[in-house]
């Protein structure tokens, strides 16, 4: 029997809330109807998904497995609806997501030579929405950095770029031509909330700050609360007078990946991937203001057209 996406969405809402009443309110259906749908799904799958007792609602092992698999499935269905809506308008459009500082324009120009009738839009992504935007179809493909939840995605390495340490403007290391890992000893590190490892082999102090995005990280650095690390291209995107970027040659370089939903098949996506590979070397070297400005203008134009 085919898996019913509506029942799966109901299940995911209950699994996230672990409360049938609150899930029913969120789904705008009556609680008894929701309970019937969950029982029907359990019957379809031949497995109990929840345990219910006086202590509340909990996922079974089968329920935890289904929840892990449900996200990419529901996101993929949402992406299909998005693409059908675009096709119904009679237009061909490819949305390319990118992390801050990564130039998309070289690949877009190479792709447009082959597909002059396809509009290429660009959309900036943050650390914590890279995977969701790829899975639910807000972007068709993306230039991403680790860490990223790879569930339901296909990642291919494109190129690497040097890592830079970012310090306050008045820091003892500010303005140096380069520093070593040893020079960073004793410095408090500002972490990304989803990062699990430090980029250095020498442990740094924990500043206690776990931030969501690059701007938030740089604000803490500028305030003197710690140091952090960025890829070289990000230093062009985020140029400001109260911080200083310094190369650290003995750090492993930052890896940039080309990403798409694992279930996605499209000749246009394949051709853009080919263009991305062909221009990877150019992209790795062109983290300059001119390229950033072109991309920023493209993002602004896309936002204007979308309103």
pLDDT tens digits for range 264-291: 888 999 999 999 999 998 777 655 444 4
Residue 81 lies in a domain: no
Cβ-contact 289, 98 below 8 angstroms: no
Region 119-138: mean pLDDT is 89
Which domain range does residue 212 map to?
163-247
Say yes or no to pLDDT of 304 above 80.
no
Q: What is the CATH number of the domain that holds 271?
A: 3.40.190.10
**Rg value, the chain, Cα:** 23
Same domain, 35 and 148: no
Give CA–CA dist 205/191, Å, rounded.
11
How do 141-145 and 93-99 pair as beta strands? Answer: parallel
Split at pLDDT 50, 70, 90, the class of 197 is low
**Residue 42: CATH number of its domain:** 1.10.10.10
Q: Is the pTM of this model over 0.85?
A: no
Residues 167 and 217 in one domain: yes
Rounded to whole angstroms, the maximal C-alpha distance in the chain is 67
Does residue 148 lie in a domain region? yes
Count the domains in the chain: 3
Q: Does 172 lie in the same domain as 66?
A: no
């Amino acid at each position: 029997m085919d898996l019913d996406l509506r029942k799966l969405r109901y299940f995911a809402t209950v699994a996230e809330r672990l409360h049938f009443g609150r899930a029913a309110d969120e789904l705008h259906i009556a609680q008894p109807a929701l309970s019937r749908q969950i029982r029907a799904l359990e019957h379809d799958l031949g497995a109990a998904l929840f345990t219910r007792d006086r202590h509340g609602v909990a996922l079974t092992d089968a329920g935890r497995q289904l929840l892990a698999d449900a996200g990419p499935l529901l996101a993929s269905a949402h992406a299909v609806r998005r693409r059908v809506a675009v096709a119904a308008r009679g237009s061909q459009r490819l949305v390319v997501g990118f992390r801050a500082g990564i130039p998309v324009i070289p690949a877009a120009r190479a792709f447009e030579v082959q597909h002059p009738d396809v509009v290429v839009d660009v959309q900036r992504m943050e650390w914590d929405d890279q995977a969701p935007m790829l899975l639910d179809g807000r972007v068709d493909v993306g230039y991403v950095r680790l860490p990223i939840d790879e569930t339901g995605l296909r990642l291919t390495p494109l190129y690497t770029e040097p890592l830079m340490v970012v310090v306050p403007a008045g820091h003892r290391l500010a303005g140096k031509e380069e520093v070593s890992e040893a020079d960073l000893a004793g410095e408090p590190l500002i972490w990304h909330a989803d990062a699990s490892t430090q980029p250095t082999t020498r442990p740094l102090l924990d500043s206690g700050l776990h931030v969501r995005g690059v701007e938030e990280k740089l604000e803490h650095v500028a305030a003197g609360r710690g140091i952090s690390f960025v890829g070289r291209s990000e230093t062009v995107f985020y140029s400001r007078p109260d911080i200083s970027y310094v190369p650290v040659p003995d750090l492993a370089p930052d890896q940039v990946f080309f990403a798409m939903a694992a279930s996605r098949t499209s000749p246009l996506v394949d051709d853009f991937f080919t263009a991305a590979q062909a221009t990877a070397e150019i992209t790795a070297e062109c983290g300059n203001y001119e390229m950033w400005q072109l991309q920023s203008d493209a993002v602004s134009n896309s936002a204007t057209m979308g309103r």
